[in-house]
Amino acid sequence: MLAADNEISLIADRGGTLQEWSGTVSNNALFIKILLEHIHNDIYLLKFREQFGKEVYKSLLLNTAFEAGQEEEGNVILHFC
């Protein structure tokens, strides 16, 4: 994930079952805002883990179908666990 000057963003991935890179570049204001929020939330979660430890961090899981699907594909749900 990358956002530059609140004007353009890039998101790409090759994880899980993907065999090649997939991504998008956008200058859509809403997309950029969502991406920037996601980046900030990742930083907040990293600081939360550093301050309170791994066990408290794991308690943030919601037990949703999304999380279950990510685990089945072998993906890390919370990047910092």
Contact call for residues 27 and 65 (beta carbons, < 8 A): no
On whether residue 81 sits in a domain, the answer given is: no
Domain of residue 24, residue span:
2-72
Tally of domains within the chain: 1
Residue 76 pLDDT class (50, 70, 90 cuts): low
On whether residue 50 sits in a domain, the answer given is: yes
Write the pLDDT tens digit of every residue in 9-65.
999 988 767 688 889 999 999 999 999 999 998 898 888 888 888 777 677 888 888
> What's the whole-model pTM score?
0.69
User: Rounded to whole angstroms, how far apart are CA atoms 59 and 48?
Assistant: 12
* Token duo for residue 73: 């594909």
Give the up-direction half-sphere exposure of residue 9: CA atoms within 13 A in the CB hemisphere: 19
On whether residue 79 sits in a domain, the answer given is: no
On whether residue 77 sits in a domain, the answer given is: no
User: Rounded to whole angstroms, how far apart are CA atoms 81 and 53?
Assistant: 9
H/E segment holding residue 26: strand 22-26
